[in-house]
Structure 1
Amino acid sequence: MNETAAHRVRAEIDLAALRANVRSLRAHAPDAAFMAVVKADAYGHGMVPCARAALEAGATWVGTATPEEALALRAAGVEGRLMCWLWTPGGPWREGVEADLDMSVSGMWALTEVTAAAREAGRTARVQLKADTGLGRNGCTPADWPELVAAALRAEAEGLVRVTGLWSHFACADEPGHPSIAAQLTVFREMVAYAEGQGVRPEVRHIANSPGTLTLPETHFDLVRPGIAMYGISPSPEVGTPADFGLRPVMTLSASLALVKHVPAGLGVSYGHHYVTSGETTLGLVPAGYGDGIPRHASGTGPVLVAGKWRTVAGRVAMDQFVVDLGGDEPPAGAEAVLFGPGDRGEPTAEDWARAAGTIAYEIVTRVGSRVPRVFVNERTQPGEM
């Protein structure tokens, strides 16, 4: 894509920042392999370029939620170890086997389907058994673990599967000291010990997500799975900023003002007239709305940098646009409005938008819509960068 072309709205993705984040995160877990999690289009950043950049920076695994995401990476030529974990009955198991995916199994139905796919394909399936150690979401409970382990070992003896991993996921790793962390870690160790005692020989055992990688070295085991931190966003703002963790935000979301106009006092702005001008002023029209992923919950609160000053969304965010009160300033139509970025130029960050919308920064970047072009910069590794 032409980086100099004018855009209604654009998300600039700094791949040099992503590579630097991967290197910084690897330094937090130097003895563990690194899985770059690129689910949900790399948290809105662009799955294929981000996966490639992470691998260039030393990641040895790539992780996705859905098999469709993993198969799309394979189709794009991404090689190496590729894991996916959110399966539903009737999923593309055979395609996964043939693409050499590492496929997560959380229950007997999934093991039944993957072994059938392996028979059809005439190839051994790589599977990882997921333990529910206390998140209460996906994964096999301790009560059902013996049955799943025994069935996986039988399938392995038949040559249908190879159990490559044992893994789990934390519920509260972003809250240091939360009692569930130690409790889950104990359960994970017990479930791993049971499986290994029965004869499972996994290549990797893993439970550490972004906060685990950054703050819980005892959770690193054989592999860590950073997601949001790889994109330069703190998984626990209460504990530290991105800079505190050696990270830099990767996405900058900006737009070109579509209109600047003088208006009188008492003018209602946007749907419902929840904002009324207090005096003569100028309004700027930002051509991005909830159809682009701008949270409607940030109506009246979302911050935007225009002409060197923070402005606030005036009134409701509409589907395609919102308004800012420029307070009499007169930037030209086409002037840049920066919704969020690293903060270097005084612009808001994704965390600022999260606070404005009452959510988390994960959602702010991930929800940026498909009609917003991703413009990738610093795609090539520069001399001396590594």
Structure 2
Amino acid sequence: MRITAKLTLIISLLLIVLLIVLAWTSYHHDQEMLLQESVEKARTIARQIVETREHLSSVVRAEQAEQNYELIPQVAATRITQRLTKGTPYYVRQVSQRFRNPLNRPDPYEQAVLRQFADASIAERYEVVSQNGAETLRYLLPMVAEQSCLVCHGSFETAPRFVQQRFPKGHPSYNYRTGELIGAISVSVPLEALHNRILHNLAQEQALQGSILLVLVLLTGWLIHRTILAPVSRVAEGIATVTRSGTFSTRIEPRGHDEIGRLVEAFNDLMAELERRTRQRAESDERYRNFIEIAQSPIVTFLPDGKIVIANQKAEKLFGLTREELLGQCIFDFMEDPLPLRQGLEDYFSAGSSQVLGNASRQTLRDVCGRCFEVEMVVSVSQSEHEAMFSAILRLTPKGD
């Protein structure tokens, strides 16, 4: 896998993880926000109903209520509730342990909350419960008897005639006391619709964020490739070209002055230095070859392992081989007793000096046909950039010397 694909994949995975985390956070945040919004709406509706009841009970006289049934606080509050919640998922009713209408009978949950309202001073109660396999927000706001409520719900004897006709003596509608809990406004909100709304909004957000993510990944990949990977790739291709061709003339056009730009400049500087040194070495080798070619004695240059790398025409004639055949041969193979020369080279590398170097010694050599001859050999050493090289100047010794 190319590094561009790797970086794009890594960035994509990181952004996808980030997108998932943001989606999860957004979902729970929206869920909490919608729940609080639902609670606030339920609270507003319940308080409006309570305020309506209290207002009507304080301003509507008994004879007015008798003439117009819709002015009775409980009835008017019910009608207003129906208008307020029309077209919404909110289900609102007025529940009481002293219910007169069976529709106002509290369910088990409402009964438990009413007992809590009676036992403790609780301003409101809401929670999410499981109802018929679905989550539902339940909100209850307590209602207490005001002084104006006692006009109709005090004693049977003081109640208006139309109330006495509707509810006989001993009915729970009588004997209210000021401040007494008389019921609660109960609001139920199915949360399935809210959850669907959250999921719908989340899907839209994810689609938008996913599109932005895709564009961001593509743009990031393109920028990384253009500003980082492409210059590095050019450097790698330049090194590969140098490796294949063995020349150091390759240059890369620098772009920018950042780390990549400095890398390109360093590559160009390296190539220039290597080219200069290669040219100098080639010139030096050429001068050396010219020098040994005009020398009157056979000369061979060899490496520490004895491999011959340079030889002049005199040496070719001496050993009976062409230059191409002679190069790569081992000088020790042409010596009757190579041990002293081997030992001298070892002493040079171990002690830094040797008696063999710079001093003339007699050696018995043989040519390619096996003919032996005596020579006087002088070995010198030259240190190149990488390793030492040894040159042997050979002079034939006349017979009888």
Q: Would the TM-score normalized by the shorter structure come out above 0.5?
A: no
Relative contact order, CA 8 A, sep 6+: which one is greater?
Answer: 1
Computing the radius of gyration over CA atoms, which structure comes out larger, 1 or 2? 2
Q: Which has the higher helix share?
A: 2
Structure with the higher fraction of residues in strand conformation:
1
TM-score (norm 1): 0.19
TM-score (norm 2): 0.18
